[in-house]
Structure 1
Amino acid sequence: MGRIICLMGKSSAGKDTIYKRLLEDETLGLRKLVPYTTRPIRAGEREGREYFYTDETGFGRLKGQGKVVEDRAYHTCHGLWRYFTVDDGQIQADQDYLMIGTLEAYGKLQEYFGAARLLPVLIELDDGIRLQRALNRERTQAEPKYEEMCRRFLADSEDFSQEKIERAGISRRFVNDELERCLDEIRGYIRAGISGKE
C-alpha cells in the first residue's frame, strides 16, 4: 500500500524548497499530489505544478461531484480563498505521494484514505526568520499583498498550536535551520515510514 507524505508547517518555513528537493530525489520515488486553490496564481507559479487554479464555480462543481476530499476556506484581506484536495485520479494505491498541507488537511486525509496511508512531516523554523522570508518573497510579487502576509503569519500561531499538533498525533518535528541536515533527517524518516518501520 502506498503512502501519502504530508508536508506541513507555518508559512515561510521552507516547505516549498523541501518539497522540490524530495521530489527530485529519485531514491525516494515520490510522486507529487497537486492540490487545488481558488487564490490567484503568484509570480513564478505554474498551473498544475504548485496547484490547479480554479474559482468558486469550479470548486462547487467538484464538491457536487463528490470529488473534494478535504477543503479549507480562508477569509483573506483579498476575499475568500480555498485550498482543497480532489480525488481526481492522481492517487494510485501502489504509489507513494508527496503533498503540502495543513494539520486540518492531514486529519481529513486520514479520515478519507485511512491513517495507515498518511505520513506526517512537520517542518518548523524560528518565527523571526520566517517573517523575514515571507517579507522577502512578498516583495518579489507584481502586487505585494502585505496585509495578507501578516494575516497568515498571525493565523499560523493558532493553526499550528501545540494543542492541535498533539491532537493530530504528531510527535516528530523537523527544524529547518540548516537545509541539508533537515533534508537528510526527513529522507530517513520517509524511508522508514514507507518501509513500514515508522
Structure 2
Amino acid sequence: MGKIFLLMGKSTSGKDSIYKNLIQDEELGLKKVVPYTTRPMRDGETDGVQYFFKSEEEYIQLGALKKIIEERTYHTKYGEWRYFTADDGQIDLSKGNYLVIGTLESYCSYRDYFGSQNVEPILIEVSTKIRLHRALDREDKQENPKYDEMCRRFLADEEDFSEEKIACAGIVRRFDNNNTIDICIAEIKEFIKENL
C-alpha cells in the first residue's frame, strides 16, 4: 500500500521549490497529484501543470458528483477562489506513493479520506519576516500585482496555521526553511525514505 506525503506551510514558505525537487527525485519515485482551482491563472502557469483551472460551474458539477476529496475557499476582493482535490483517478495507493501540496485543513481531509496510516504530513516553517520579503518579491514580478490579496493571504495563513490547529491535527515534526533550502530538502527526503 502506498502513501501520500502532504507538503504544507504558509504562503512563500518554499513549498513549490521543495515540491519540484522532491517530485523530480527518481529515487523517491513520488507521483504528482494535480489539484484544482477556480482562481485566475497567474503569469507562467499552465492548465494541468500547477492546477487544473476550472470555472465555478465546473466546481459545482464536481461537488454534485461527490468527487471532491478536500476543498477550501478564499474570499478575495476578486471573488471566491476555490482550491480542491478531486477523486478523478489520479490517486491509487495500490500503485505507488504520492506527493501533494496542501494546507493544514487539506491534510486533515486527506487523512480522514485515505486513513491516517496512509498520509504523512510535511510542515514547512519560515519566519514571518522572510515570508513577507518573499511575498513582496513574488508579487512585484507579476504583470498585475495584487498586493491587497497578498496581504489577505499572508494574514489568513497566521490563523490557518495557528499553533492550536497544528496541535489539533496531531502534527509534531516540522521542517525549517529559514536559511538553506538544500538542508530542508535533505531532511524531508530522509523523512520520506523512513516512512515509505
* TM-score normalised to structure 2 length: 0.97
Q: CA deviation at 1:51?
A: 0.6
Q: What one-letter code is carried by the residue in structure 1 that aligns with 2:181?
A: L
Structure 2 Cα separation of the partners of residues 44 and 117 of structure 1? 33
Which residue matches 1:89? Answer: 89
Q: What one-letter code is carried by the residue in structure 1 that aligns with 2:143?
A: A
Which residue matches 1:193? Answer: 195
Q: CA deviation at 1:78?
A: 1.2
Which residue matches 2:76? Answer: 76
Q: Secondary structure at the match of 2:183?
A: helix
Structure 1: 4+ residue segments shifted above 3 A: none
Which residue matches 1:37? Answer: 37
Q: Would you say how many aligned residue pairs link Structure 1 and Structure 2?
A: 194
Which residue matches 2:140? Answer: 139
Structure 2 Cα separation of the partners of residues 145 and 70 of structure 1? 26
Q: Extract unaligned runs of 5+ from structure 2.
A: none
5 Å matches for 1:127-166?
A: 127-166=128-167
Q: CA deviation at 1:141?
A: 1.0
Q: CA deviation at 1:185?
A: 0.3
Which residue matches 2:173? Answer: 172
Structure 1 Cα separation of the partners of residues 72 and 59 of structure 2? 11
Q: CA deviation at 1:35?
A: 0.7
CA deviation map 1:19-43 (0-9, x unaligned)? 0000111000001111100000101
Structure 1 Cα separation of the partners of residues 83 and 66 of structure 2? 16
Q: Secondary structure at the match of 1:50?
A: coil
Structure 1 Cα separation of the partners of residues 30 and 7 of structure 2? 13
Which residue matches 1:17? Answer: 17
CA RMSD of aligned residues (A): 0.7
* TM-score normalised to structure 1 length: 0.96
Q: What one-letter code is carried by the residue in structure 2 that aligns with 1:105?
A: S
Structure 2 Cα separation of the partners of residues 24 and 62 of structure 1? 30
Identity of aligned residues (%): 55
